[in-house]
Copies of this chain bind each other. A is one copy, B any other.
Amino acid sequence: MVGSVGNGLMDLGEREKAEPLPNEFDPKDIVDDGSLPDSNGVGTKEENGNSREIVLGRNVHKMCFAIKEPEADDEVTGEREAYMASVLARYRKSLIDRTKHHLGYPYNLDFDYGALSQLQHFSINNLGDPFIESNYGVHSRQFEVGVLDWFARIWELEKNEYWGYITNCGTEGNLHGILVGREVFPDGILYASSESHYSVFKAARMYRMDCVKVATLISGEIDCNDFKAKLLQNKNRPAVINVNIGTTVKGAVDDLDLVIQTLEENGFKDRFYIHCDGALFGLMMPFVKRAPKVSFKKPIGSVSVSGHKFVGCPMPCGVQITRMKHINVLSSNVEYLASRDATIMGSRNGHAPIFLWYTLNRKGYKGFQKEVQKCLRNAHYLKDRMKESGIGAMLNELSSTVVFERPKDEEFVRQWQLACSGNIAHVVVMPSVTIEKLDSFLNELIQKRSCWYQEGKASPPCLATDIGEENCFCSMHKK
């Protein structure tokens, strides 16, 4: 009842009832270590050490900072401010620790936006289209368009031929690109390799598109033989294709030229729309000399990339670029904004473009090139040291994502915040990942591993189907 909210706001979560504030917000305090669903019915179920399943159930409230109604005399005593400051100080401490032990997600955690903290006092909102003013004056379109121009230039699309916007994340870019594809070919079938980001399949479901999954090679790239076979089963309907410029798990780059060739040779000329999901690697590839080129000089429809990954940003964001001619089908006029809106979100975070603008300006093309080289070098170092130590590992050429044997201990996985899938885990070497950090991780892994796989105990899993026989060091494939 609303009437009672003032009196009865729930206290801190169950755990906090006994002890007002935890010293650390370690995820392992929240996720059960056990293999069964926790008392709330949610948890990670582990079977045979291989198949892991998220069990749905009720929402978990073990650890949360409840909102407490201020006491009448709070303003006098300062109790409230003191309480909040202590929560924030401890939270900050835990963020420092969690940031230090972080290897699994492709986020560059190394940034300093101190110069921009002055802007946090403003409610900056880039409503609607970046290129058309709305009546709301507190925006950052000047920065947004500057950033978009930079990306359009990298992907070789003329200033007056592109349209784009700064998104909330890579997923929004995929949702947008695939929506544009569907509007261009309303009857199109969506093709995506099975290693595509899950947002691509989410889009198919949201948009009620028929979706065909295409097999992948061991590297994680799309298998164009299978793609051809699937295309030939649906010759009468146009194709909307998601091409991965760096898959989520293995960092594999689909062969864009081969995808286009496959389409054109099999009767799909002028009947396809390609969206390039460049979440992470879309921004790294332009700086690698021998990398195949993502370019609008090729018949592609859109490219998206995440801003919080390689660039680094306090919050998720992304860049979406498409062809102007496609966007007019999507636009609809929204008079009360005095703008048109061809974005997914409408209201958009106006701080993100300034963060991106700041870093792009500060580092420039050459700065990024240096960082990309450093990441690739460090990734090779990690992969080599793993293989020297008898740990199955793979690194795709041009990628900084090192895929390796999933650590047996979930606590270790959580400690280093590794992203896992089946028998494999990965480390994404970002500019914030130094050799020292890698060494510290490796030494711990090697030491732990010697316990997990002591003589007579369990043995490491076979990774041949995941990363190829030549990269596997299981008892069968060890040379």
Contacts and interface: CB of A to CB of B under 8 A. Distances in A.
B99 A336 contact: no
Contact of A335 (B5, B133, B421): B421
Interface of A: 1-2, 5-6, 9-10, 25, 27, 30-31, 40, 42, 44, 52-54, 56, 58-61, 63-70, 80, 84-85, 88, 91-92, 95, 98-99, 101-102, 104-105, 107-109, 111-113, 115-125, 130-133, 135-138, 140-147, 149-150, 153-154, 156, 159-160, 162-163, 168-172, 175, 179, 198-199, 201-202, 206-208, 248-249, 286, 293, 306, 308, 312-316, 324, 328, 331-341, 344-352, 357-358, 360-367, 413-414, 417-422
Contacts of A366: 6, 69-70
Contacts of A118: 88, 92
Contact of A149 (B67, B111, B208): B67
A138 B102 contact: yes
A146 B69 contact: no
Given A105-B136, A335-B420, A358-B84, A61 B314 contact: no
B2 A414 contact: no
Nearest to A341: B198
Given A122-B95, A170-B347, A365 B138 contact: no
Contacts of A115: 84-85, 88
Contact of A135 (B125, B201, B418): B418
> How many identical chains are in the complex?
2
A117 B119 contact: no
Contact of A56 (B104, B136, B340): B340
Contact of A2 (B42, B146, B154): B154
Given A105-B136, A109-B138, A160 B58 contact: yes
Contacts of A361: 67-68, 70, 80, 84
A64 B1 contact: no
A179 B206 contact: yes
Contacts of A108: 123
Contacts of A130: 59
Given A60-B132, A91-B142, 8 more contacts: A2-B154, A52-B338, A59-B324, A64-B144, A98-B138, A107-B125, A198-B341, A315-B352
Nearest to A421: B336
A153 to B, nearest CB: 6
B133 A332 contact: no
B56 A331 contact: yes
A45 to B, nearest CB: 11
A418 to B, nearest CB: 6
Contacts of A25: 142
Given A52-B335, A168-B345, A349-B349, A154 B5 contact: yes
Top 4 nearest A-B pairs by Cβ distance?
A98-B137, A64-B145, A169-B347, A316-B347
Given A2-B293, A120-B113, A138-B99, A357 B67 contact: yes
Interface centre among A30, A333, A349 (most CB of B within 10 A): A349
24 contacts: A5-B154, A10-B149, A10-B153, A56-B331, A59-B131, A60-B131, A60-B132, A61-B149, A64-B145, A67-B147, A68-B361, A70-B362, A88-B119, A101-B137, A109-B122, A111-B123, A119-B314, A123-B312, A171-B344, A171-B347, A179-B206, A198-B341, A337-B419, A349-B349
Contacts of A133: 27, 30-31
Nearest to A133: B31
Contacts of A44: 338
A80 B9 CA distance: 51
